[in-house]
Amino acid sequence: MMSVQLSDQELSLLSAVQDNTSLAFDVATMMFNPDLMGRLERFAELMATGKSTIPAHLRGSPGDCLAITIQSMQWRMNPHAVAQKTHLVNGTLGYEAQLVNAVVTAMAPTKDRINYEWFGDWHKVIGKFATRQNGSGKSYQAPNWKPEDEQGLGVRAWATLKGEDEPRVLELLLTQAQVRNSTLWASDPKQQLAYLAVKRWARLHTPDVIMGVYTPDELEPVEEKNINPPPSVKAGSRTEQLRHKLAADAPQEPKEEDEPVTLDAILLKIEHAQSERELTEVVADAKHLKNSEQTKARKAYKEQLIKLRALESSEQSLDE
């Protein structure tokens, strides 16, 4: 079995990034740092060669491994541990609920951990599951209770944000959990509902913590409905049939091409950015600039970032 050897620089990559406490691994700053990006890409390439250390859907995919590595840096977690908690759902990378809950607990700006309180008569569903077999002959657990048994069962999740005295509370009923992909919904519904409550609490009160991160049950495809169907054409109406055929064969209007990204446009966006999130959105466009122009954009970005953080600090001082 082939072993993966990392250089001293690559082995120190995670600690080097985590030591940068002033920026707390700012993604935009990283993307403007060719040396750091190069080391991350090298790490992702080696990670993609793993066999038992990463799941099958990541093997041979340095791009996906890079995305997980960057996400792990932001969470200050081991990329390989994070990779083991991912799944591929409908072509999109999903994260296990257990991992998302660990991230929220560790990264959310709260005074305490998220607290839980279940309400309702859970004895109606706890332990009420049946073991069945799927088409392949494999056994799985399925709920063995009636839908009305779920009425009134729920969980209450709350935590107090830093700078506040009153906790933010969210209540979630078992009947609100529509997508239940895991068989644990049958064997341990209280735990699964608590996981779901934490995710919804975080998306409501601290969306920046898990922005863009979804669990498999949130990636279920939604069937699109055509609310404006085209008018039907009667088979006997040759005039109408000809009219529709001519309309379909008519040349389409050419789509306007996107305007090329210019340094002036990037600098203007940076200057008018009112938050770090808006600054981060400029980074994607700035990558198309020339190297010399990226240097100027990087300087303007850092200056604006300092201004925004200074403004945020002054506002917090006034509030205290």
- The CA distance from 304 to 318, in Å, is 21
Over residues 118-159, the pLDDT tens digits come to 999 999 999 999 998 877 788 888 999 999 999 999 999 999
Q: What does the pLDDT average to over 43-48?
A: 95
Q: What does the pLDDT average to over 50-65?
A: 92
Q: What is the mean pLDDT of the chain?
A: 77
Over residues 216-241, the pLDDT tens digits come to 555 454 444 454 555 554 545 556 66
Using pLDDT thresholds of 50, 70 and 90, give the confidence band for residue 257.
very low
pTM of the model: 0.55
Over residues 195-222, the pLDDT tens digits come to 999 989 988 998 888 765 656 555 454 4
Over residues 96-122, the pLDDT tens digits come to 878 888 888 888 888 888 999 999 999
Domain boundaries, the chain: 8-84, 109-207, 263-314
